[in-house]
Amino acid sequence: MSFTGLLIHTCTLQPRTRSGTDATGAAVEVDGTPVTGVACRLQSLRGDEGLRDERVTATHRLFLDASQPIDEIAQVQNVVDRAGNTLLVVGDVAYAEPLSDSNALHHHEVLVEEVK
């Protein structure tokens, strides 16, 4: 089975760019054009949820094909399975890593944090 055959979910990737800072010095992020229908696979990590700033967070790993670029300030939205069940509404990319085999880019592994 090929790697793309393992990508059993679809999602929307919301690219963002940083465009300076606001009055408080925080980075201002501007949304780009969303990319819909992206083949992916979402995997929950550790199966636990923790508290961060009085909010419940869950951590997931997202697998993407090598042809799908993603950066660390993007959002992952609307992850659904083949039956149409929503697995993730929105999550922030915490870390994105391109992984290679012996000589070429194979796929991307993305750490996604979901705030509920």
What is the dihedral sign for C-alpha 66, 67, 71, 72?
negative
Q: Is it the case that residue 68 has pLDDT exceeding 70? A: yes
Mean pLDDT of 32-42: 94
Q: Is it the case that residue 3 has pLDDT exceeding 70? A: yes
Q: What pLDDT is recorded for position 38?
A: 95
Prediction pTM value: 0.82
Residue-wise pLDDT tens digits, 84-108: 999 999 999 988 888 888 888 888 8
What is the dihedral sign for C-alpha 102, 104, 107, 109?
positive
All domains of the chain in start order, with CATH: 3-115 (2.40.10)
Q: Is it the case that residue 50 has pLDDT exceeding 70? A: no
End-to-end CA distance of the chain: 35
